[in-house]
Structure 1
Amino acid sequence: MKLLRVGEFGKEIPAIIDEENKIRDLSKIINDLNPENLTFETLNKIKEIDLNSLEMINNNERIGSCVTKPANFFAIGLNYKAHADETNSDAPKEPIVFNKSPNCIVGPYDKIIIPKFSNSLDHEVEIAMIIGKKARQIKEEEAQNFVLGYCICNDISEREWQKHRGGQWVKG
């Protein structure tokens, strides 16, 4: 199932891509792809729908962020050895967990704001997980039960701020 949000910035509507790669309007089924509305129950409801019964949307519509208003946006730093090597960093013994601002999530073709004094901007293509329900002290083998979906994430970081100005990843 491929869900997305389409439309003018700030006025996106939820949509789904059907088997023929046509975009279909989901706004009569779900208000938006946000934590309030996007649940496992909603996904099951969408699975039961005949997608051909949904109104088609022009494929040239702007694609917005895949979700809106997430409570958090966590990232894992240096999560594989080759990446640690390419940044001249030691591979961490424990995961480096840091926050990114949820309002930095934009659509795939939206402009990215680059800070004025940035001179060490770096980017990585990441796989992001969308967590679908609260998870606390769960067993590793249960973790997948909390993953609602996946998306591609272009992780943009300012390496100088991250590594050489106090070592705080959140400001990079």
Structure 2
Amino acid sequence: MINKFKVLMAASASILLAGCTSDTTTSHNAGYPEPPSWDFPYVTEAAYEISPHNLEGRPFNSDGLAYTHEELEALPVKNMTSEQLQNYADVVTHAFPDATYQSVPESCEDISAESLNETSLANVAYISIQAVEKATRDSARSCLATLQKMYRKE
């Protein structure tokens, strides 16, 4: 189960944590929470402390998700609204939305469709609504539209 967790977190984090390293913690903080380290398992442990449950009150499991892999794979993510999708975001994105979004490429069109999964779309949806900074929310909203369009073509 731990290997499956690492693979899932790596896949969903590929667009959201790819550029983050432990030295980015203080480089761009504008008043929003950031983990003490982006290294696994420290980042997830810090996230569980801040956000043990998703927006619906469901506890995050040991995979950092509030839903099973099967439930996530069955979601019609390409047609869901951001309000619906945000409930499926992972624990790290839930706890650190603004900080997590800092590693997303400036143009979401540079993200490959193959790197997307249900959780990565849910993470961007969560950020588009829950991020502290308006510019981050606006960028994530635009990015989500681009990613859903890519996902539809897949």
TM-score, normalized by the shorter chain, greater than 0.5: no
Q: Looking at CA atoms only, which structure, 1 or 2, has the larger radius of gyration? A: 1
Comparing both structures, which one devotes a greater share of its residues to helix? 2
Higher strand share: 1
TM-score by length of 2: 0.25
